[in-house]
């Protein structure tokens, strides 16, 4: 809601970018910082912005780890691709429904970083054609999903597949970890940040969109991310040994 004449100035304008005018009045005119509804809105908006800011960097540790080691060993590319599909469907569905950016903005940044991870795995296997096709193909698909060419009911159907896709993606990666007996080049920082972020997203999605499908997809993401995070801890020493041996081989 735009600021009226009694709320002129930079500070009210900045506050009301996130909060409705009635909450500005409660907090900064009546000094009622314990107003229940406004506290829920403020917490949701704050978490949403925090998640988006964090999402800009959440998968950078994973990307850096791949670049430093020049290897995507232990990373299940099909699982990464299924995860990318789920992220992208959420992104397109939220845009089509005009949900606030604070409710879905991290999907944009996660999609860019996730596609980079998959492309790097192909690149360091010296599969240049697959690298190019993957990137060009993904950009083309997202252009179609975001252009308005795809009807909303189709996007809703795609969003509806996210629960299964998210669970499948994490189970595929968990199976790879189990079979390898380590987590390879998976970044522990990225895994734990994704786990915490998905927990927070359950609350913000309920608060800001009320969309059941999006909420359930984040519940599934939390369960899947929690499983992989548990494996990172379980295989910690074995993974350190694997990484050490890989470094010796390259030397």
Q: Which domain holds residue 167?
A: 58-250
- pLDDT, tens only, 127-186: 999 999 999 999 999 999 999 999 999 999 999 898 899 899 999 999 999 999 999 889
Could you give the percent of the chain with pLDDT greater than 70? 92
pTM of the model: 0.74
In a domain, 39, yes or no: no
What b/e string do you get for 46-57 counting C-beta neighbours within 10 Å, with b at 16 or more? ebbbebbebbee
- Under-50 pLDDT residues of the chain: 1-5
Distance of CA 96 to CAs 86, 93, 104, Å? Answer: 15, 5, 12
In a domain, 50, yes or no: no
Q: Of 39, 35, 50, 24, which Cα lies nearest the Cα of 103?
A: 50
In a domain, 20, yes or no: no
Rg of the Cα atoms in the chain: 21
How many domains would you assign to the chain? Answer: 1
In a domain, 13, yes or no: no
In a domain, 128, yes or no: yes
- Gap between the Cα atoms of 182 and 231, Å rounded: 8
């Amino acid at each position: 809601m735009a600021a009226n004449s009694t709320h002129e100035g930079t500070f009210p304008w900045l506050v009301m970018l996130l909060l409705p005018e009635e909450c500005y009045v409660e907090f900064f005119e009546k000094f009622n910082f314990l107003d229940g509804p406004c506290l829920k809105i403020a917490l949701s908006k704050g978490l949403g912005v925090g998640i988006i800011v964090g999402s800009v960097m959440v998968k950078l540790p994973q990307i850096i780890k791949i670049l430093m080691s020049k290897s995507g060993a232990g990373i299940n590319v099909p699982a990464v691709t299924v995860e990318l599909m789920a992220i992208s469907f959420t992104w397109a569905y939220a845009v089509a429904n005009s949900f606030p950016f604070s409710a879905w903005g991290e999907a944009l940044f996660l999609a860019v970083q996730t596609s980079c991870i998959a492309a790097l795995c192909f690149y360091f296997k010296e599969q240049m054609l697959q690298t190019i096709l993957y990137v060009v193909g993904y950009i083309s698909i997202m252009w179609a999903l975001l252009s308005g060419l795809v009807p909303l009911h189709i996007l809703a159907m795609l969003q509806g597949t996210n629960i299964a896709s998210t669970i499948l993606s994490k189970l595929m990666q968990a199976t790879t970890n189990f079979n390898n007996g380590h987590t390879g080049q998976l970044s522990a920082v990225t895994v734990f940040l994704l786990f915490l972020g998905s927990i927070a997203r359950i609350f913000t999605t309920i608060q800001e969109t009320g969309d059941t499908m999006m909420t359930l997809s984040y519940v599934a993401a939390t369960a899947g991310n929690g499983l992989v995070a548990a494996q990172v801890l379980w295989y910690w020493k074995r993974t350190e040994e694997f990484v050490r041996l890989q470094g010796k081989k390259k030397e």
